[in-house]
Amino acid sequence: MRCGELAFAYSMLAAGGILIAQTQTTYTGANITGQLTLVRTVDVSQAASRTATTLLASRPARLFEQHNAGNPEYAEDPPRLLNRFRPPLFQEGLDTPPWRSLAITTQPRREIGTVTGLPVNANTTAFGFSGLTHADQRLANGGNQFNVEPPNPSIAVANGYILQGVNNAIQVYTTSGSPILPKVLSTNELFGVPAAINRTTGVNGVFPTDMRVFHDQTINRWFVLQRAQDYDQFGNTLPSSRMYLAVSQTPNPAGVYNIYSIETTDAERPGCPCVADYPQIGADQHGFYISTGEYNVFSEYFINAQIHAVSKVSLAAGAATPTTYRFTLPFTTGYEFSIQPATTPPGAQFFAGNNGIEYLVSSFARAGEDSNLAIYAIHNTGSLATANPSLTLTQLIVPVISYTAPDVASQRPGALPYGSTFSPPGSLAFLDGGDQRVQALSYAGGRLYTSLATQLIDETGRRVVGGAFVILSPTFRNGLLAAPVLRQGYFAVKNNHLLRSGIAVNAQGRGVIAATLVGPDYYPSAVYLPLDLMTGPASVQLVGFGAGPQDGFTGYPGGFGAGVARWGDYTTAFVSADGAVWSTAEYIPNAVRTERANWGTYITRFVP
């Protein structure tokens, strides 16, 4: 950051950084080493080759071109809707209608001010390519997959490779966009577990969901993480759940992985048996952090937040039981929900003082609007390299820009091939705008960069789904945590919506906010918003051009909610070693689709 940029930062900090005495809360955790266990190893390239050469005797997914209405032999099993486990505010009577209904559009939302929309530039020169689609996911593992919405796209880039994951499939690409695995691999094959559903016998297996992939620069390993609710062979929910973590044995993402599993049922805790929903990941130089929300498996009632800290040294060594430490945070202040750990981009310094600190951030989940964030510091993370880890977590609530739960997003009208098969025909759905949980967090140059969704009013007075970004300057000294705001602001597009925005910056504090752009003027399209500390987002770069509206099963009767389709749940941005920022977002491509869904993902690269 140059002198002029620093002067600007000073002015922002001086304007907004009045510090007042703030109360911080400290949590201790527990050493749970032994619960995360190595269960098997899987060679990804071999597994993908087996899929390519072995034709399974199963009923293949019906592509739309093969539609044969009325023929029961081609009848699809019910698709698998991924529930969006709602923030606790929806459980506390603060909204009156059932959470699945269209009544979410009638949620009272405080107007938080008018924002001038950013210009949208159709960027045809940025490098990018279409990534995994619903067809890829549905046809993986010989077609022994459910139809799944939404994809939850995740990406990691290093060593000349791109690892992309969606619910429930992965592919490895070169950085020029060429696929490396001979076939898209289902995560059931990666984790070495039974297929989600055997299309021949109809037996239900394991259904992993909530995809996260990661590359760790310190140990040069690749990670794939999903959680799984257990079901019986008929698809009935069982009172148990677990997480699966695949860690590569080498820097090659198409090589052999160690597969770890940890049970997350937590049966003895009041309110459980539970499932660990919406894992969010991060890392410092010592640990890999997995943050989840515990929900009752049957009622989907939120219980508390959990953070697992896993020793990277253990994982790199392929330990049978990696050193693992867990914090459980009761929902005390309203911020203990979807706590996002930080990632540090290549070239940036980890926090080495205090024997290592990992920062995390979360937003308010007890009401639909707020103007604070919770900042967390896990300290003594270096003890993860010992036999007796002893970590402490400190929480501080800091004032930031106001935000409020986003509404649903309207779409541009277009052809609905699947919707037209209904009687009466399905109508154009809204897209789920999500909620206000923190989507991403980068720690670079001593600053924390984060983003979250919020409802906004554009310059024409229209309500739009947009986002907020906040840049903080954290310190942890003598046991005291502080995090004044350096810069913050909103971003939006006039009369249109930016969904599931996720931020990532490089070591110089320059990066992007990735999102889906949708609305009356745009089919769901992949975009990114360049930014740095000096200049917040100033434009929207449209790179993955949407070819039509969302026309998937979640938008129609029996789906997510009447007239509201699932979307996201997130957009992922990741920094490679050369300082470029890669991102993947859900969009609607012009591509071969299956009958039940038409989502795709776009991967793009931006060099700040």
Partner 1 sequence: MTSRHIYNGLLLLTRRLPVCFSFIVLLAAVPRADAGFIGAYSFDNFNLFNTNANGFASLNLDGSLAITGGNDGSGIPGMTDFSLIAPTSGIVSFNYAYASLDFPGYDFAGYFADNFTFLANSDGGSGSATFLATVGQQFSFRVSTLDNTGEPGVLTISNFNGPSATGGDVPEPSTMLSLALGLAVLAARRRRADRR
Which is it for the CA torsion 353, 504, 167, 259, positive or negative?
A: negative
Shortest Cβ 348–partner 1 spacing (Å):
7
Q: Whose structure tokens read 């739009």?
A: 464
Judged by CB under 8 A, the residue of 13, 256, 534, 577 near partner 1 is 13
Half-sphere exposure of 310 (CA within 13 A, CB side): 30
- The nearer residue to partner 1, 3 or 20, going by C-beta atoms, is 3
- The nearer residue to partner 1, 434 or 445, going by C-beta atoms, is 445
- Per CB under 8 A, which region of 85-93, 117-125, 470-478, 549-557 contacts partner 1? 470-478
Instruction: For the segment 477-516, give every residue that binds partner 1 (CB under 8 A).
Output: 477, 482, 486
Shortest Cβ 394–partner 1 spacing (Å):
14
Instruction: For the segment 332-391, give every residue that binds partner 1 (CB under 8 A).
Output: 348-354, 357
- The nearer residue to partner 1, 394 or 550, going by C-beta atoms, is 394
- Per CB under 8 A, which region of 135-143, 439-447, 462-470, 563-571 contacts partner 1? 439-447
Whether the Cβ atoms of residue 504 and residue 530 lie closer than 8 Å to each other: no
Report phi then psi at 282, rounded to 5. Answer: -165, 180
Here the tokens at position 135 are 């067809």
Return the biggest CA–CA distance within the chain. 71
- Per CB under 8 A, which region of 125-133, 299-307, 315-323, 445-453 contacts partner 1? 445-453
9 sits near partner 1 (criterion: CB under 8 A):
yes
399-288-228-199 Cα dihedral, nearest 10 degrees: 120
Shortest Cβ 342–partner 1 spacing (Å):
10
20 sits near partner 1 (criterion: CB under 8 A):
no
Taking phi over 0 as left and psi of -120 to 50 as alpha, with beta for the rest, 26 belongs to: beta
Report phi then psi at 183, rounded to 5. Answer: -140, 155
**C-alpha distance across the termini of the chain, in Å:** 13
392 sits near partner 1 (criterion: CB under 8 A):
no
120 beta partners: 540
6 sits near partner 1 (criterion: CB under 8 A):
yes
Cis? peptide before 424, omega within 30° of 0: yes
Shortest Cβ 20–partner 1 spacing (Å):
14
- The nearer residue to partner 1, 103 or 482, going by C-beta atoms, is 482
- Per CB under 8 A, which region of 50-58, 131-139, 141-149, 468-476 contacts partner 1? 468-476
Shortest Cβ 10–partner 1 spacing (Å):
6
457 sits near partner 1 (criterion: CB under 8 A):
no
Report phi then psi at 14, rounded to 5. Answer: -65, -35
Give the helix/strand (H/E) hosting 289.
Answer: strand 287-296
Rounded Cα gap, residues 439 and 152, in angstroms: 12
Chain residues that interact with partner 1, rule: CB under 8 A? 2-3, 6, 9-10, 13-14, 17, 348-354, 357, 443-447, 473-477, 482, 486
